[in-house]
Structure 1
Amino acid sequence: MEALVLSCSTGGGHNSAAKAIVQALQERHHKVTFFDPYSLKSTHFANVIGMTYIKFVQHTPDLFGKVYALGDAYSRMQTKIPVPSPVYAVQNKTSKLLENYISEHHFDVIITTHLFCGEILTRLKRKHVTLPPVYFVATDYTCSPFVAEVQADHFVIPAADLEDTFAGYGIPKEKMLPFGIPTLAQFHEDIAPDKAKRAVGLDPKKKYFLISGGSIGVGDIYDTIDHLLTFILSHKEYEILVLVGNNLHLYENLMINYQGVHVLHLIKPTDHVYYYMKASEIFISKPGGLSSTEAAAAAIPYAIITPIPGCEDKNAAYFEQHGMAIWVKDVSQDLLPAIIRLQDPAEKEQMIAADRANIDPDAAGKLVEYIEKKNSDLN
């Protein structure tokens, strides 16, 4: 089977989910082509698209939340008045480039983990370009604005109990596949903490808190570090790891502000996040859909901080309601009590049990198996 997987670099979650699907396809010996459709114009153009979005979220998260709310209202209106969205309208040139590419290559299936790519494919469908079956993979625990505008043959959603949420935006239930958000196999492999620590050069005798602002490095990281340092004063066995993502400004400021703090370790962009999760006692992060799912797949106790308004509020609520995380709504008041709770063996085991009950770590594999069966039925 020949598969085309599309994503965009507006945050790492979409790409990580896409890579998990690529991994599952390749493990079953299928041929896979994976790229950002904006790179068909140029790599520079694709990077500009990604960085423009990232800078917007990094520097003005509250404004992003307001834009999201407007988009959400517009998207709900589309169920009554089918007016194309601005996101759809700007995809014309890229859709022509992708049309030319697809006409020169054979594919049995197209899978995308990003709205922009879904809108590009929708333009092609509306032009009656012949396409193989298209699968859209949602990477948040809600229906994001304009997803319902995407003309996909199937929508992979994070969980069966979200079917009504997606249907409320106009997505037909018969097109939904509640397989979950795809994660790389490494996140659910049984890696011993000592082995994981050694793999990334950590001290096997130490315990670690892992802080993340997602791939774009945002969130209330400074206050989180300060409160954890207070905790460490009486818990010498602990140290702090910070995944700074692609936020070089954050990395430089943390280096300056915490110079000489030997219990704080800053981690630049890495392909070994799963090792850091497996090596850590508690994961503290903003609730990106993908990073939250990875935490659940890795079975690491999870404390949510500072969601970006929009999808991440919904992710936080979903994980809290299902017992898969503690939502720390006020870092100064609630972080340390949450840390103490998550160190309790009974609390930890209860959260891990919730992870196992609600998250399928083999979502990518289930999707590929489904595609294989559908492809076989067509042939």
Structure 2
Amino acid sequence: MRTLILTGPDHEGQHAVARALKQSLAASGDGALILGALALLGPHPSLSQMRALEQEALPQPRGFAFLSAGGSFLRDNKRRSLVYEVNARYAERLQTLLLEGEFDAVLCLHRYAAEAVSYLRRIVSFSARCCYVSCDFACVPFLEETALDHYFIADESFADAYQKRGIPANKIVPVGIPLPVDWFSGQEKADARALLNLPQGMPCYFILNAEDPESAVDALLDRFSGDSGRVCVVAPDGAPPRSPFVARYAGDIRVAVLAPEDRLHLYRAACDVLLTAPFGAVSAAAAVSGVPLVHLPTSNAFEAQTARFFSERGMSLAAETYASAAALALGLAKDAANRERMYAAQQNACVADASQRIVTFLHEGRC
């Protein structure tokens, strides 16, 4: 089986889900091609086109409706919309890929890709099964206007919401969120700390993702009593040479600034509490690993739904400010009973084999 995996924005969560699907497909002897939205604009897109894609086309629903009837509308009004051009270019290249790529399945990890595939199904014929794969614990609006074969969602509790929006029940398949196998270390906390040269006798806090990492770090440091804890944080700029973020904490023994290519799975295993923006895949991985979790503030509506899903089930603590996140994290590190309750809730709600379930469904029609 040959599968095309379409992602949307340049987003760590979507990259992780795509990688997990590719790993499971490869384990079953299947091939997979991952393409982001930017790649389908072709070589050397202009800066204005990239901005139009990322800032307007990807966030807005119904972008491909204009391709059905909007061409003449735009000509009649003697103007050209940059978003229209971006969508048309994306659809044209995707159409060529679908007609010539001989794919058996297409997995859309973003509403934009799902809308594009649905549009193309109305104007050209291709045999690939087309599915949506949710990357968040959320009900995605306007997804009901797409025309796909199946919708793989993060949890069965969202099925009713999708049905109320008009997606047939027989097309909804609750599977969880696909997670890459290399996100799990298998190391005990003490062993992971020894490998990372982290102290054994004090709390360690791992900030994986944050809209404002500096505020997240500073809020924790403000609550430390002297040298009483460690903060490991992934640099938002990738920690290149002369990184301002690295320089900000240089010389502070309490802070370890990490690059994305560092062994982040070991830091997850080594920490007492994980603090992160509520990405679906990252949150699911923390739950599967049984890591105490604090969700940081977010301005993203889908991420806010993920935080609410986890906190309502006792799988995380959700903060509205970085100061409250720090307070929750320090309290959680000291409260063994609360950590045990969170661990039990996590083990009852999240699964590690979502990508395998999707591959099995593609092969056999059932999970």
* TM-score range normalised by the length of the shorter chain: 0.7 to 0.9
Q: CA deviation at 1:168?
A: 3.0
Q: CA deviation at 1:325?
A: 0.5
* Alignment partner, residue 241 of structure 1: 232
CA distance in 1, matches of 2:156, 2:296: 26
Task: Name which of 102, 107, 113 aligns with 1:111.
Answer: 107
SS in 1 for 2:315: coil
* Alignment partner, residue 203 of structure 1: 198
* Alignment partner, residue 138 of structure 1: 134
Conservation of the 8 A alpha-carbon contact between 1:92 and 1:123: no
* Alignment partner, residue 173 of structure 1: 169
CA distance in 1, matches of 2:47, 2:165: 31
**Distance of aligned partners of 1:355 and 1:116 in 2 relative to their CA distance in 1, 3 Å threshold:** same
Conservation of the 8 A alpha-carbon contact between 1:307 and 1:316: no
CA distance in 2, matches of 1:47, 1:91: 15
* Alignment partner, residue 261 of structure 2: 270
Point out where structure 2 has 5 or more consecutive residues left out of the alignment: 71-80
Q: Which amino acid aligns with 1:262?
A: I
**Distance of aligned partners of 1:284 and 1:371 in 2 relative to their CA distance in 1, 3 Å threshold:** same
1:187-228 Cα offsets, whole Å, 9 max, x none, are 4553222443455x43363642111335xxx23x33332232
CA distance in 2, matches of 1:290, 1:226: 26
Conservation of the 8 A alpha-carbon contact between 2:185 and 2:266: no
* Alignment partner, residue 323 of structure 2: 332
* Alignment partner, residue 4 of structure 1: 4
Q: CA deviation at 1:157?
A: 0.6
Task: Name which of 314, 326, 329 aligns with 1:323.
Answer: 314
**Distance of aligned partners of 1:332 and 1:37 in 2 relative to their CA distance in 1, 3 Å threshold:** closer
Q: Kindly indicate whether residue 25 of structure 2 is the aligned counterpart of residue 30 of structure 1.
A: no
CA distance in 2, matches of 1:118, 1:95: 11
Structure-to-structure mapping, 1:232-311, within 5 angstroms:
232-233=224-225, 236=228, 238-246=229-237, 252-270=243-261, 272-311=263-302
Q: CA deviation at 1:128?
A: 3.4
CA distance in 2, matches of 1:333, 1:271: 28
SS in 2 for 1:91: helix
**Distance of aligned partners of 1:94 and 1:337 in 2 relative to their CA distance in 1, 3 Å threshold:** closer
Q: Kindly indicate whether residue 119 of structure 2 is the aligned counterpart of residue 123 of structure 1.
A: yes
Conservation of the 8 A alpha-carbon contact between 2:6 and 2:113: yes
Conservation of the 8 A alpha-carbon contact between 1:14 and 1:113: yes
Q: Kindly indicate whether residue 144 of structure 2 is the aligned counterpart of residue 148 of structure 1.
A: yes
Conservation of the 8 A alpha-carbon contact between 1:39 and 1:46: no
* Alignment partner, residue 42 of structure 2: 42
Q: Which amino acid aligns with 1:297?
A: V
Task: Name which of 220, 243, 268 aligns with 1:228.
Answer: 220
CA distance in 1, matches of 2:325, 2:197: 28
Conservation of the 8 A alpha-carbon contact between 2:207 and 2:234: yes
Q: Which moved more, 1:107-116 or 1:87-96?
A: 87-96
SS in 1 for 2:222: helix
CA distance in 2, matches of 1:136, 1:92: 21
Q: Which moved more, 1:165-174 or 1:278-287?
A: 165-174
CA distance in 2, matches of 1:27, 1:48: 40
Q: TM-score, normalised by structure 1?
A: 0.80
1:6-31 Cα offsets, whole Å, 9 max, x none, are 21343211111111111111112212
1:61-80 Cα offsets, whole Å, 9 max, x none, are xxxxxx97xx68x99xx9xx
Q: TM-score, normalised by structure 2?
A: 0.83
Q: Kindly indicate whether residue 344 of structure 2 is the aligned counterpart of residue 353 of structure 1.
A: yes
1:285-335 Cα offsets, whole Å, 9 max, x none, are 111222211221222101111112411221111111011101122333463
SS in 2 for 1:141: coil
Identical positions, percent: 21
Q: Which amino acid aligns with 2:134?
A: A
1:125-158 Cα offsets, whole Å, 9 max, x none, are 1113213111110111222233222221000111
